[in-house]
Amino acid sequence: MAQEPPAQDLMHYEAMAQEALRGVVKAALKRAASEGLPGAHHFYITFKTDAAGVSGPPDLLAKYPDEMTIVLQHQYWDLAPGETFFSVTLQFGGQPKRLSVPYAAVTRFYDPSVQWLLQFEPPPPAPAEARLPAAAPAEAADEPAPAKDGSKIVSLDQFRKK
């Protein structure tokens, strides 16, 4: 008696569920941006720094070439949750630095005040040439394209852990 192969999920339910749960992250950030963080709520947000669309100061991203966790609690500024990414200014070494993170790059969202944790499948790393520079996404569109000879492309491979 021949067994039928297991049915293939052509609807991609797991991907839809991940996207829906990322909507919880977006909604929480929108609420925090408009109303502030209520009570003892605060967020630990972990994201893949090498994911497509992540932008921030090159020195900071080089320090965390794979993954980074940020905390939104007392000292964060200009939280701007958009439809596909959020931006926020945080202090690193006493210096304010702006990060832009696509929701698709988020791997963990944790609110320790209520023990609420969401974990996501990590996105594939973006090719080095596809990563955004430190400028905000809207500003990045105004920059000229790199020369075809590669003279404006900087490889981040030297900063990666081997």
Q: Which segments of the chain does DSSP mark as H helices, in order?
A: 13-35, 58-63, 137-140
| Separation CA 123–CA 54 (nearest Å) | 12
Backbone angles phi, psi at 89, to 5 degrees: -105, 130
- Give dist(CA 128, CA 104) in Å, integer: 17
Amino acid 99: pLDDT: 96
State the pLDDT at residue 93. Answer: 87
pLDDT value at 119 more than 90? yes
123-152: per-residue pLDDT in tens?
777 776 655 554 444 433 333 344 444 433
Examine the pLDDT at 40 and tell me if it is beyond 70: yes
Q: Please answer whether residues 123 and 48 qualify as being in contact, where contact means their C-beta atoms are separated by less than 8 angstroms.
A: yes
Q: Decide: 55 and 140 in contact? Cβ < 8 Å.
A: yes
Q: How do beta strands 85-92 and 67-72 pair?
A: unpaired
For residue 47, which amino acid is it? Answer: F
Q: How far is 98 from 78, CA to CA, in rounded Å?
A: 9
Position 154 confidence tier, pLDDT thresholds 50, 70, 90: very low
Residue 162 tokens read as: 């081997």
The residues spanned by each domain of the chain are 14-125
Matching CATH number, 14-125, of 3.30.300.30, 2.30.30.220, 1.10.10.10, 1.25.40.20: 2.30.30.220
Mean pLDDT of the chain: 82
Residue 129: per-residue pLDDT: 60
